[in-house]
Amino acid sequence: MAAFIATAAPAFGAEADAHYVQRLRLLAQLQSLNAELLSRDSATAVLQEVCDRRMVEAPRIRARRVSVHDDPAAATAARRQLRATTDTPIRLRRVELICGDTVLSRADNWYLPGRLTPQMNTALETTETPFGVVVAPLAFQRRTLSARLLYQPLPPGWEARGDLAFDAPAVPPRDVLQHRAVLQTPDGQPFSLLVETYAADVLTAQPPPIRDR
């Protein structure tokens, strides 16, 4: 992954400079979040740190269930990814991961209940505990399949240009980053396929105040 390179904002006035700096901060936050997710086994732990930085006495991250219809084709593809036979039971848990009232990410999680304990399966069915917290006793490892930025605060080649100016603050879309990953036990047995889509609320960069020069 290319390292983030800070450059001086072009001199187009205080307002344009403020919007440029905001976009730099958004890009830095996106890159930092992506790097953290790629280097950690638990995405929930990363989001908990985001929540802790944002709020005094931050609550624990909750996984709010979202209703979902059966998708046999997606379940078949997930079984293949998890090296499970066609008759192996598989479940889909769709949730919004929430800090207080703020949705930080949405996750689709296909998992094999037969590779979890009965207590874990009960917790996943009846509580708002995030998947990574429930299965933590498995000492799982995360294997990332893909990581994709859904939002680019600055255009390609921005670091080599000196003519960038923005007449309005950046407004990120609802979703800014997506990861696909498999969770597996230390001996390499996969038990969960995740598609995690991170919301704009994981970012906190706002335009800095404009000061008279």
Angle between helix 14-39 and helix 43-54 axes, rounded to 10 deg: 140
pLDDT of residue 205: 55
pLDDT of residue 12: 53
Q: Kindly give the residue spans of alpha helices, DSSP state H, lying in 58-136.
A: 72-81, 118-126, 131-134
Which phi and psi angles does 70 have, rounded to 5°?
-60, 140
Integer distance in angstroms from the first to the last C-alpha of the chain?
Answer: 37
Mapped onto helix, strand or coil, the DSSP state of residue 28 is helix
pLDDT of residue 4: 47
Tokens for 97? 């991961």
pLDDT of residue 169: 85
> What domains does the chain contain, in order, with CATH numbers?
14-151+173-202 (3.40.1410.10)
What pTM does this model have? 0.86
Pairing label, strands 91-99, 62-65: antiparallel
Residue-by-residue pLDDT tens, the chain, 213 positions: 444 444 544 545 677 778 888 888 999 999 999 999 999 999 999 999 999 988 888 899 999 999 988 889 999 999 999 999 999 999 999 999 999 999 999 999 999 999 999 999 999 999 999 999 999 999 999 999 999 999 998 887 777 676 677 778 888 999 999 999 999 999 999 999 999 999 999 998 554 444 443
Question: Which contiguous run of DSSP H or E holds residue 157?
Answer: none
